Amino acid sequence: MFKIKSFYYAFKGIADLFSGRHPNAMIHLLAVVTVSTVGIFIGLSAVEWCIIVLCFVLVISLEAVNSSIEYIVDLVSPGYHPLAGKAKDMAAAAVLLAAISTVIIATVIFIPKFINIIQS
């Protein structure tokens, strides 16, 4: 059954993600703002925007999952445990892989546009 309250909890999670307690989320948000500004300036096509937005959502969503895994691991394993560290490392690896692929995709989209601007 559809519940409006679930949106409240989702927005609460977004607010927590960007509250400043998760510095990497803030870095990703800064990247979103920067890339979006440059994208507006150089005139990305609709398809390019769709690809870039999907990249944004992928990285930020994985950052949210990473943060939630960190919360859970800290709850169930407040002391050091090697498996807790591995769980956190794997979640961070997922974010890093998405961020690296996003940089590659952005490079493929933006470099030809910059070359055209320089040549014209």
In a 13 Å sphere around the CA of 10, the CA atoms on its Cβ side amount to: 6
Annotated active-site residue 70? The verdict is no
Maximum distance among all alpha carbons in the chain? 59
Question: Are the beta carbons of 60 and 28 closer than 8 angstroms?
Answer: yes
* CA–CA separation, 68 and 11 (whole Å): 14
- DSSP assignment letter at 18: T
Are the C-beta atoms of 17 and 67 separated by less than 8 Å?
Answer: yes
| Radius of gyration of the chain from its Cα atoms, rounded to whole angstroms | 18
Identified catalytic residue from 63, 64, 73, 106: 63
Q: Which residues are catalytic?
A: 63
